[in-house]
Amino acid sequence: MKDFFSKLLNGMSIAIVCALIPNALLGEILKLLIPHMPALQHLYDATSIVMSMLPVLVGILVGMQFKLTQIQCASVGLATVIGSGVISKTADGIFTIGGIGVVINAGITAALAVLFVRLIGTGLKEYSILLIPMLTVTIPGMIGFIILPYVQKGANLVGDGVAYLTNLQPVVMGALIAVAFGIIILSPISTVGVATVIMLSGIGAGAANLGVVAVGMGLCIASYKANSLGTALAHVLGSPKIQMRNFFMKPVIAVPMLITAAILGGLAGILNVQGTPYSAGFGLSGLVGPLNYINLADGGWTLTNISIMLAMFLILPLILNLYFIFLFNKKLKLIKEEDYKLDFE
């Protein structure tokens, strides 16, 4: 079960990075340029479409983790799309695709589909190409579709819990929300999805964003010795979710980052660092968080606001993470560089 869970999370992590990085890196920049260069709207739309391809990537890449055949991987991908909820049907009978679906249900459906095709194995022989896609969509795919509303409701409960935190006083609220989103960004649950469901805004969204910043930058620092520089930077420029497998295998590896998140979240309440439901889940990817803070801050691009932005989104996350990673690694001996090793082969 541990090996199965590990492979499932690893496949999901790679899919999430591939699907979300294009929009995360280009989205906010393109929004600034589109009014002056309308032709770039097509590129922005393309990155949005790629995001919606996340469920099929989850299915295919999870299948590859289990070394399934091409037909089996494709079938798992199709079933995962059905169970993800990324495609909906309007009252007029028109199918629409939007968002990234319910990521956690996509993972559940992919797991069921993998178990199903492995159970069938090669027993269908020459009929595999005819029957495996149909049976995989019909059985695990439809199971995923049936349980989708219940799984989505469970994911929404997470959002309700975060919403409750926003009713607390700002400093405590900021610290708790930052830690909550620091944990969520390392899980199959979408931080953007949670923030959007509860319409998290203001200081709550700013604190949530700083939680993601803290975790992303901390994992970048902690993992660069065990991985390539590009892979380390993917934690910041892409998504910390690529460490999802390692986090579930050894949760203590994220403790230094979560302590940093708590401190930054508390400071967000003091310094009035704000955000939007969209910025709450992206951290530094595409500069979504910093740009949204400046846009919402009184006075906009003032020297004071720029100083707060640099301190909260860059300087403090760097310094605090360096200190706590050193403490947990060299002094407490609770973590080591190999804990952050990623294998994308």
Where are the chain's structural domains? 1-155, 166-345
CA pair distance 174, 267, nearest whole angstrom: 8
What pLDDT is recorded for position 160? 73
CA pair distance 321, 117, nearest whole angstrom: 43
Q: Kindly list the distances between the CA atom of residue 269 and the CA atoms of 23, 163, 169, 193, 223, in Å, as whole numbers in the listed order.
A: 29, 15, 8, 23, 30
Task: Give the DSSP per-residue string, 233-301.
Answer: HHHHHT-GGGGHHHHHH-GGGGHHHHHHHHHHHHHHHHHT--B-TTGGGTTTGGGHHHHHHHHHSTTSS
pLDDT of the chain, 345 residues: tens digit per residue: 778 888 888 788 788 778 877 877 787 788 888 999 999 999 999 988 998 999 999 999 999 999 998 999 999 999 999 999 899 888 888 898 888 888 889 989 999 999 999 988 767 777 777 888 999 999 999 999 999 999 888 877 776 777 677 777 789 989 999 999 999 999 877 777 677 666 677 888 899 999 999 999 999 999 988 888 888 888 888 778 888 889 998 999 999 999 999 999 999 999 999 888 767 877 887 788 888 898 889 888 899 999 999 999 999 999 999 999 999 999 999 999 899 998 765
Residues forming beta bridges with residue 49, ordered by sequence position: none
What pLDDT is recorded for position 23? 79
**Torsion angle of alpha carbons 185, 189, 193, 198, nearest 10°?**
-90
What pLDDT is recorded for position 321? 96
What pLDDT is recorded for position 345? 53
SS3 (DSSP) at 186: coil
What's the whole-model pTM score? 0.71
